[in-house]
Structure 1
């Protein structure tokens, strides 16, 4: 196809792109239109130096935004060819999308795209209902479709072992004053277009919890509202740990999250065992997997909630200047 993407194409797709998840809801992406292509970049001003010093989390988040872009363009009948890290001299440039041959969107693309505005991180306790085997298969296949793997942990012993790794990593992180200060800076007790609203922070962690909570100022839980004792936990991993692998993992993460949303599931993400290198390696060895773990997911059936706020589209776009 000869024509490239236009500012109108980017604006329409960006509405979906910015619904991607990110650490502390920092929304660390910029979307640029250049020479008929749409480019996804990390926004250096929105990095988390204490929580994410390597930039892993920002690249995963931008990969998730990239997947939403792909869906939005495909549903609009203008699917994209994607090249990751297209210019080594510009390390913040993570992906470039150019138009592919026009085609009708697939049913899967349509259903995943429809799930975008309904996806949110649910940090509340889930119901005890088990996730059916066919839905679990859909989640595993979602990761595989994006060249990643999803290991679902079955049984109390496997989940307990992961919980020990996660709690150990959580304690390491909590000992860092800069980490705690940075988390507090992104907690929002008043309405804001970014950060984590206190209402979405989930209940305070308690000693009996299998998995650690980040601690976004949640309230004490009501009696009888403990977290599920045997949650379905998944570990998302990629074939490697390069910057490209992290962008790929972000796309797989978003495909899994949208597949879960489309299946009526709730998900919360635990990144503490990924943020601490020794815990990450311990997790990989315990799974017996090659490659690199990129995110831990708690999956189940939860109470209704709502997505967290997002910044306005104009705050994340870089468009060519039109001269009179």
Structure 2
């Protein structure tokens, strides 16, 4: 969406519809894009789209709320960049638990500065599932990532030593084997392995499959659905983890829907800061998705509270963006 197309003199509704184009660029579990937006008078409402929930890997809706929180942060960032001042109220109506936030504009409020760098990173940020270069991340980046999480009310633990990364990699591998041993998990994952022509899900090119072989997507989904490939996936993910300059665990002091939404906002700020510094990231959330492993990851992070997201951060071969649903599909009229 060209920046100069922003309707400066338009109505709030027209401005909100424009800003949603940036919200939908947020990452989401399996690229499920589990959000809907509704413009109501002078407000924009963010809803969880439960039809896109992942009932096996995310039975409580934690990852869904985190995904929506990331979209909300993109929206806030775009608002401030274009000079729209207002506030986002989380869970404004207890009678509507799927109404995650209501955003309103208030020109009387003081406009916060310093959002240009984050805004410019929104269309650049891309989940990079490939291997990263081994060179270390600079200390300035580490400090900036921790600050990004803190500004959104979360904590971020960074793992750099080979010993700790190996311990985290063992948890990731164990999580892979546990998950892939479950036929229901494999069926759910296979449902989101899509062709590049689709507007959601994970296309083959995001997993390293040549785009000329996109026609094999149904066969790949069949193999994942039918066979327990947990050992192979565990070996690959372990190598990705230990070969990354940084592993990062983001967490919160609470573990409820509001905390999950906040974690998503913190996650997206962290990802945009990494992007602005020229670094990529991808997710290795298996130790969080498997309940028995989550406390062990928390122990490695030296935080007694709740891990929400596990990232790997580094520099790799540029990745291609995964597809997005058109804005018409996510707006509620």
1:260 to 255, 258, 274: 274
Q: How far apart in 2 are the matches of 1:166 and 1:207?
A: 7
Report deviation, 1:79: 2.3
Contact 1:268 / 1:298 at 8 angstroms: preserved in 2? yes
Report deviation, 1:302: 1.1
Is 2:284 the partner of 1:270?
A: yes
- Greater fraction helix: 2
Q: Which residue of 2 aligns with 1:215?
A: none
Is 2:24 the partner of 1:18?
A: yes
Deviations 1:244-298 (A, max 9, x none): 0000000000000000000000101111111111111121123231321000010
Q: 1:95 to 1:17 in 2, by over 3 A?
A: same
Q: 1:51-130 counterparts in 2 under 5 A?
A: 51-100=57-106, 101=108, 103-104=110-111, 106-107=113-114, 109-130=115-136
Contact 1:124 / 1:227 at 8 angstroms: preserved in 2? no
**TM-score between the two structures when normalised by the length of structure 2:** 0.86
Deviations 1:124-168 (A, max 9, x none): 011122110011111111001101010001211111111111211
Deviations 1:61-108 (A, max 9, x none): 00000000101111111122121111111111111111133555523x
Contact 1:70 / 1:79 at 8 angstroms: preserved in 2? no
Report deviation, 1:227: 7.2
Q: Which residue of 1 aligns with 2:221?
A: none
Is 2:36 the partner of 1:36?
A: no
Q: Which residue of 1 aligns with 2:216?
A: none
Is 2:168 the partner of 1:162?
A: yes
Give aligned pairs, total.
Answer: 302
Q: Which residue of 1 aligns with 2:261?
A: 247
Report deviation, 1:173: 1.0
Q: How far apart in 1 are the matches of 2:275 and 2:188?
A: 30
Report deviation, 1:231: 3.3
Q: How far apart in 2 are the matches of 1:227 and 1:233?
A: 7
Query: Which structure 1 segments of 5+ residues have no match?
Result: 213-225, 320-324
Q: 1:175-194 counterparts in 2 under 5 A?
A: 175-194=181-200
Q: How far apart in 2 are the matches of 1:119 and 1:190?
A: 19
Q: How far apart in 1 are the matches of 2:125 and 2:152?
A: 19
Q: How far apart in 1 are the matches of 2:11 and 2:61?
A: 28
Q: How far apart in 2 are the matches of 1:56 and 1:189?
A: 26
Q: Which residue of 1 aligns with 2:303?
A: 289
**4+ residue runs over 3 A deviation:** 100-105, 202-210, 226-231
Q: Which residue of 1 aligns with 2:326?
A: 312
Q: 1:160 to 1:314 in 2, by over 3 A?
A: same
